[in-house]
Amino acid sequence: MSRQPSDLGEVNTWRVLESGGSELDAVERGCGQCEIDQCDGSVGYGGSPDESGETTLDAMIMDGNTMEVGAVADLRRVKNAIGVARKVIEYTKHTLLVGESASLFAVRMGFPYEDLTTQKSLSLYSEWLNQSCQPNYWKNVVPDSSKSCGPYKRREEVTYKEEQTSSQRSVHNHDTIGMVVIGVSGTVASGTSTNGAIHKLPGRVGDSPIAGAGSYADTTAGGAAATGDGDIMMRFLPSYQAVEYMRMGTDPTVACQKVISRIQKYAPKFFGAIICANTTGSYGAACNKIPGFTQFHFMVSNPLLSRPTEQVVDCI
């Protein structure tokens, strides 16, 4: 099952399993297809330019048998982020590589340097500059970040107030491909890929490449993957929490709902959703209801379905 409707990605994932490939192979193929297709403009190259106009990528893949994780963040000039993340598992003893060093590792693993900029991403960046760099992710700075492009300096007096625009900004400008694969023997794998929040500060890393936040897999319990405002969601490790609820016997739908409810207590206006699947193949999803985001769509493939099927849940 995957967070983002992408028929070709789902079909390729299922074909990998049918042809005898591993669950990790299936996750890599499915997320990789979404990177190629530039799903929703928020996965892969040519989308979500940061403050300097550059597109960078985050991805993670997790083996629920061994609990190994491979991840990359702030990956530059390399298109196949989920493929590089897989190589982190296979060829290093590390879990997460970031920035320019992640790109150098990718090249050593045989991935080519490629331009991640497109005419669309350049246009998005130009429009943002022409709108006085609105919206952006700065606070407590001078000049006023709600009216100016900066450059900014910190204010001597720091004020604390609730962020009013983050959820609306995220609803329209950010998403992630998140995938959970359950093999015939109950083996679980998961993964994510994204180009992050649009107009983010260079160097920003969200929840997607963080194990337990963006996704989590444990063959003894199940798997989960999250999407939304990663700066908020990563603070709660929602994917890990959902898997732990399922470990205790909680139904996947209820597990997802409990995770969303937990975050709601601290950030009632957050944009976010999560998918959950246990080792028996049962699945569910939940999302936080806010203006502009009242339903959550996700894709499911299993032996009972003739083709990948889009599912919809009402947000809570």
> C-alpha dihedral over 105, 110, 115, 120, to 10 degrees?
-100
Q: What span, in angstroms and rounded, lies between the C-alpha atoms of 56 and 108?
A: 19
Element (H, E) at 4: none
Please report, in range form, the residues annotated as the binding site for substrate. Answer: 204-207, 227-230
Q: What span, in angstroms and rounded, lies between the C-alpha atoms of 62 and 174?
A: 22
The verdict on whether 176 is a catalytic residue reads yes
Alpha-carbon distances of 34 from 17, 177, 211, rounded to whole Å: 18, 7, 20
Task: Spot the catalytic one: 176, 192, 194, 250.
Answer: 176
Q: What span, in angstroms and rounded, lies between the C-alpha atoms of 313 and 10?
A: 19
Burial class (CB in 10 A: 0-12, 13-18, 19+), 127: exposed
Please report, in range form, the residues annotated as the binding site. Answer: 204-207, 227-230
Q: What span, in angstroms and rounded, lies between the C-alpha atoms of 71 and 131?
A: 34
Indicate which residues carry an active-site annotation: 176
